[in-house]
Chain A
Amino acid sequence: MKKLINSPENVVHEALEGMVAAHADLIKVQFDPTFIMRADAPVKNKVAIISGGGSGHEPMHGGFVGRGMLDAACPGAVFTSPTPDQMQAATKAVDSGKGTLLIVKNYTGDVMNFELAADLVRADGGQVESVIIDDDVAVKDSTWTAGRRGVGATILAEKICGAAAEAGQSLAEVRDLCQKVNAQGRSMGMALTSCTVPHVGKPTFDLPEDEIEFGVGIHGEPGRTRMKLKPADEIVEMLMEPIISDLPYKSGDEVLLFVNGLGGTPQIELYIIYRKALEVAKRAGLKVTRNLVGSYITSLEMAGTSITLLKLDHQLTPLWDAPVLTSALRWGL
């Protein structure tokens, strides 16, 4: 294992120390139980939005804490969900009295820990709602599996719900909006290489030099299939097809096209992906009116990409455009 770390046990703690030092104007960090919160939280008369999950996906979620997005983020150990006491403490710290929305990615551990956290907050008299994001079309959605995983649509939901909360919408409204983003978003990813979890010390899976894992999860979960490496354009066609066919996008629909890097893929390759994805979307009659290209949901140093399409409308587009000021995403301010 070749990593710029001091010791596997201290990875998350030391990263958070550095993060808060770099962005003291935006965030505060609490330890034991650990969470990142907006420096100015609780924000009066605003629904609080909290997300969280295993570390190793940076900038998600801590990088999205700030004005117009998350009020708090709860980081677990690398690729391990946070614990209920973290969400409970974070809720206490950022809830202004208008209630809290928990945005949860659909992974067994995350769902259970957030569910227990919501129970704890309710037992304390807090008002809390949860929305589970499951936009990964790589997984068959059936009662025989844990269901689709939460990937790219997560940060789109965090941005859009953050804007709605900032605009003074109620907890029920923000929750419904989050469900809508999840219902209108679809994602699919692929990996060129595996990643190495620091405390494990060796790659999560073996992938021969000339092969790719198609439909990979953000923790290196196996995908739909393994195949020989192909040119970028062919890979993009293969990623876009199941996304477009899964949600009946209609010709003329306005969409947001999000091309995400998994951590080890340079921006130059992401633009090659975006160029082709845009072409495929146009061919399907979709109007790409907004986009995001960059590494926002990563799997440590994994090389690869994921593509997310979100159907936009008169409600979602202005919320996407609304000002945001976080360490990883900022515009309009």
Chain B
Amino acid sequence: MKQFKQEPPSLNLEPPTRIDRQMVQRWMAFFGSQIASFESELTALDSAIGDGDHGVNMRRGLYAVNQALDGTEVPDICGPFRVISTTLLSSVGGASGPLYGTFFLQCSHFAPHKSELSLADFTAAVDGGCRGVMHLGKAAGGDKTMVDTLLAAVSSLRRSASRHLSLQEALETCAKTTLEAARSTIPMVARKGRASYLGERSAGHLDPGALSASLLFESLSCALFPTSFRIAQPTTASTLNPASL
């Protein structure tokens, strides 16, 4: 078996400036636990405008992802992205499986084959992922889908990269921006997915896919920077409705 150089346990308390594969693994562990704590919330949101399976499907998928990543030895950062992609594709089902699967597949295509990603590299990966999701789902911004969150993530990361912000600042800003983007779907009228059958009646509800996608970016920030303020707290679905925002 090929041996990879093992770094000694670091006592360096400097915050990381690059994303490596262990961090991707930690990211998915965090995302999995966030999805689990938000499961009933996602179910409630999805029951209101979809078919109520988003929470349970994502929990099943993230459980499988974390099982698959455990013990995977891959030379570069694209390896775990591919593992995440194929695992989500074969375990989630519904629309979220192909969409999240495509997101990570395109991340692996657009991320450079390095062992670590800089903020600019990561931005390119997320941008590629977002475009893949838009292509497969034939969705654009404003359609009340996860694309609204992903587009916000891309522009936030781009802005941070051009201002040369630190990775920590960039990911914390991205987490906040994406949660706001998810909330911005509340007044929208759905044009894609099951919610679109409701027409005007879909307005007034937070899109569950937009919420789970914002948890994805929040999880990255929390996984890398334990001091990051945990923004999204599991609540009851009613607290995410517009009246209480």
Please report A residues at the B interface, Cβ cutoff 8 Å: 33, 54, 76-77, 79-85, 107-109, 112-113, 115-116, 139-140, 144-146, 149, 197, 199-200, 204-205, 217, 219-222
Residue of B nearest to A145 (CB): B196
Please report B residues at the A interface, Cβ cutoff 8 Å: 43, 47, 51-53, 56-57, 60, 89-99, 101, 136-137, 191-194, 196-199, 201
- For residue B147, give the distance in angstroms from its CB to the closest CB of chain A: 13
* A139-B98 in contact (CB<8A): no
Which of A33, A79, A145 is close to B199, meaning CB atoms less than 8 Å apart? Answer: A145
* A116-B98 in contact (CB<8A): yes
Q: Which 4 A-B pairs have the closest CB atoms?
A: A112-B98, A109-B95, A145-B196, A109-B94
Residue of B nearest to A84 (CB): B89
**Once bound together, how far apart are the Cα atoms of A162 and B43, in whole Å?**
37
* B191-A80 in contact (CB<8A): no
* A139-B197 in contact (CB<8A): yes
**Residues on B with beta carbons closer than 8 Å to the beta carbon of A85:** 89-90
**Residues on B with beta carbons closer than 8 Å to the beta carbon of A112:** 95, 97-99, 136-137
The interface residues of chain A, by DSSP majority, are classed as: loop
- For residue B215, give the distance in angstroms from its CB to the closest CB of chain A: 20
Contacts A108-B193, A145-B199, A146-B194: A200 and B52 contacting too (C-beta < 8 A)? yes
* B93-A82 in contact (CB<8A): yes
- For residue A61, give the distance in angstroms from its CB to the closest CB of chain B: 15
Residue of A nearest to B52 (CB): A200
* B51-A77 in contact (CB<8A): no
**Residues on A with beta carbons closer than 8 Å to the beta carbon of B136:** 112, 115
Which of A33, A81, A199, A222 is close to B94, meaning CB atoms less than 8 Å apart? Answer: A81
**Residues on A with beta carbons closer than 8 Å to the beta carbon of B56:** 77, 199-200
**Once bound together, how far apart are the Cα atoms of A291 and B89, in whole Å?**
39
* A113-B97 in contact (CB<8A): yes
**Residues on B with beta carbons closer than 8 Å to the beta carbon of A197:** 52-53
- For residue A130, give the distance in angstroms from its CB to the closest CB of chain B: 14
- For residue A213, give the distance in angstroms from its CB to the closest CB of chain B: 12
Contacts A77-B57, A113-B97, A146-B194: A221 and B89 contacting too (C-beta < 8 A)? no
* Sample of 18 A–B contacts (CB below 8 Å): A81-B94, A81-B97, A83-B93, A108-B95, A109-B94, A112-B97, A112-B98, A113-B98, A115-B98, A116-B89, A116-B101, A144-B199, A145-B196, A145-B197, A200-B52, A200-B53, A204-B47, A219-B194
- For residue A34, give the distance in angstroms from its CB to the closest CB of chain B: 11
* B51-A146 in contact (CB<8A): no
**Residues on A with beta carbons closer than 8 Å to the beta carbon of B201:** 222
**Residues on B with beta carbons closer than 8 Å to the beta carbon of A217:** 197
Residue of A nearest to B57 (CB): A80
* B191-A145 in contact (CB<8A): yes
**Residues on A with beta carbons closer than 8 Å to the beta carbon of B53:** 77, 79-80, 197, 200
**Residues on A with beta carbons closer than 8 Å to the beta carbon of B90:** 33, 83-85
**Residues on A with beta carbons closer than 8 Å to the beta carbon of B93:** 54, 76-77, 80-83, 109, 113
- For residue A300, give the distance in angstroms from its CB to the closest CB of chain B: 12
- For residue A196, give the distance in angstroms from its CB to the closest CB of chain B: 10
